[in-house]
Amino acid sequence: QVQVEESGGGSVQAGGSLKLSCAASGYTDSSYCMGWFRQAPGKEREGVAAIDSDGNIKYADSVKGRFTISDDSAKNTLYLQMSSLKPEDTAMYYCAASDHVLLGANWGNQYEYNYWGQGTQVAVSS
What would the pLDDT profile of 66-112 be if each residue is shown by its tens digit? 999 999 888 889 999 999 999 999 999 999 999 888 878 899 999 99
- Of all residues in the chain, the percent with pLDDT exceeding 90 is 80
Contacts of 115 (CB under 8 A, 6+ apart): 2, 3, 4, 96, 97, 98
Is 29's pLDDT higher than 80?
no
- List, in sequence order, the alpha helices (H) in the chain: none
pLDDT for position 42 = 94
Which residue, 45, 18, 41, 26, is CA-closest to 97? 26
